[in-house]
């Protein structure tokens, strides 16, 4: 449960202290040269500023994280992270705008960078000997029956997910759901010593040959459970993702779909049934902000105006 009365969500000095304790459990170190020989600078105008005694660089706990170069106060960053970590079906930028008292541009700036921190990176494959992995695909996008007359049918975007029963999920936005694409994901994200459970779609019939066991349920015949064989766990993940799309976000562009998928995967992998509650989930998210930057300056990304809201 998120206690929004906690001073770190309202008091900038306490928020800075909390951020520094999370990022530097062994004391401040210089992000430029890596030296621990640094001291806090005095004066109200340099609150949270440190000086490296070796390379003489000035830095704060924001440097080298998703918060770098942001003008938004740290206490609003912390509250946004706690709210997004605790909201099972996601929280829209419009809702963050209202709750944080910032502009929509700033709320969008916050939410997309927090999703960047939620992205799994350098993770090991899920599953293993004696474990079951469920594989399935879904499509995110508008329905043809909801399109106004004369408007084009909305394009749907595919998401492929692998869920280890009682464990973690790995989910990716994919260009298609052909056997070639699904096999590539399985090789990268799943341990081949696992038992693989899928439905009976044509693309799934050949993808399980490299696994210790491959079982299917015939959805085309109305079969959803066959003994211990089913794909209901991965379908539960998709159900939460779809509730977020329908209820919170309403529409997600293909350009940013993977970030939203990462958000739901992060909460699934840090869920209550694994012994991780809201406070621990938010703490894990705060740890993950290090080494992440999202500037939207890459050629393959749409340019975004620089966030320049002054502190409240």
Specify the pLDDT at position 206. Answer: 85
Q: Give the gyration radius of the chain's Cα atoms.
A: 22
CA distance 82 to 309: 21
Residue 108 domain-assigned (yes or no) = no
Specify the pLDDT at position 296. Answer: 65
At 169, which CATH number?
Answer: 3.30.420
Residue 263 domain-assigned (yes or no) = no
Tokens of 100: 């944080």
Residue 213 domain-assigned (yes or no) = yes
Question: What is the separation of C-alpha 195 from the centre of its chain, rounded to a whole number of angstroms?
Answer: 27
Place of tokens 């170190």: 29
Tokens of 74: 């740290």
Residue 162 domain-assigned (yes or no) = yes
User: For every one of its 312 residues, what pLDDT tens digit does the chain have, with 9 covering 90 and above?
Assistant: 667 889 999 999 999 999 999 999 999 999 999 999 999 998 777 778 999 999 999 999 999 999 999 999 999 999 999 999 999 999 999 999 999 999 999 999 999 999 999 998 877 899 999 999 999 999 998 776 777 777 777 788 999 999 999 999 999 999 999 999 999 999 999 999 999 999 998 888 888 888 999 999 999 889 999 999 999 999 999 999 999 998 999 889 899 999 999 999 999 999 999 999 999 999 999 999 999 888 865 434 444 444 433 333
Residue 158 domain-assigned (yes or no) = yes
Element (H, E) at 214: strand 213-217
Specify the pLDDT at position 1. Answer: 65
Residue 192 domain-assigned (yes or no) = yes
Specify the pLDDT at position 203. Answer: 86
Collapse the DSSP code of 236 into the 3-class scheme (helix H, G, I; strand E, B; otherwise coil) and give the result. helix
Residue 12 domain-assigned (yes or no) = no
Residue 2 domain-assigned (yes or no) = no
Q: Which of 245, 84, 220 is nearest to 157 (CA)?
A: 245
Q: Give the strand pairing for 195-199 and 213-217.
A: parallel
The tally of domains found in the chain comes to: 1
CA distance 312 to 296: 25
CA distance 191 to 203: 19
Can you give the length of the chain in residues? 312
Question: What is the separation of C-alpha 72 from the centre of its chain, rounded to a whole number of angstroms?
Answer: 21
Instruction: List 217's β-bridge partners, or say none.
Output: 199
Place of tokens 């170069």: 69
Residue-range definition of the domain harbouring residue 178: 132-254
187 touches 193 (CB < 8 A): no
Instruction: List 162's β-bridge partners, or say none.
Output: 135, 170
Query: In this structure, what DSSP letter does residue 220 have?
Result: G
């Amino acid at each position: 449960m998120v206690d929004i009365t906690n001073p770190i969500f309202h008091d900038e000095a306490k928020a800075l202290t909390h951020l520094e304790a999370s990022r530097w459990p062994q004391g401040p170190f210089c992000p430029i040269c890596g030296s621990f020989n640094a001291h806090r600078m005095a004066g109200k105008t340099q609150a949270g500023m440190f000086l490296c005694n070796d390379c003489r660089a000035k830095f704060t706990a924001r440097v080298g994280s998703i918060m770098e170069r942001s003008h938004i106060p740290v206490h609003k960053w912390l509250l946004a992270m706690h709210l997004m970590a605790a909201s099972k079906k996601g929280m829209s930028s419009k809702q963050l705008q209202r709750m944080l008292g910032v502009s929509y541009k700033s709320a969008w700036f916050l939410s997309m960078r927090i999703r960047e921190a939620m992205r799994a990176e350098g993770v090991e494959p899920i599953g293993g000997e004696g474990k079951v992995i469920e594989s399935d695909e879904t499509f995110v996008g508008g329905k043809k029956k909801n399109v106004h007359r004369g408007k084009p049918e909305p394009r749907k975007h595919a998401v492929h997910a692998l869920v280890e029963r009682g464990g973690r999920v790995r989910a990716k936005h994919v260009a298609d759901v052909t056997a070639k694409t699904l096999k590539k994901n399985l090789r990268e994200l799943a341990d081949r010593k696992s038992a693989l459970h899928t439905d009976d779609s044509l693309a799934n019939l050949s993808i399980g040959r490299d696994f210790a066991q491959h079982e299917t349920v015939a959805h085309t015949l109305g079969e959803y459970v066959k003994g211990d064989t089913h794909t209901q766990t991965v379908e539960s993940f998709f159900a939460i993702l779809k509730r977020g799309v329908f209820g919170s976000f309403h529409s997600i562009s293909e350009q940013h779909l993977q970030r939203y998928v990462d958000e739901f995967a992060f909460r699934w992998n840090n869920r209550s049934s694994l012994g991780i509650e809201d406070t621990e989930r938010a703490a894990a998210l705060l740890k993950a902000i290090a080494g992440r930057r999202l500037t939207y300056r890459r050629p393959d990304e749409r340019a975004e105006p620089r966030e320049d809201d002054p502190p409240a």
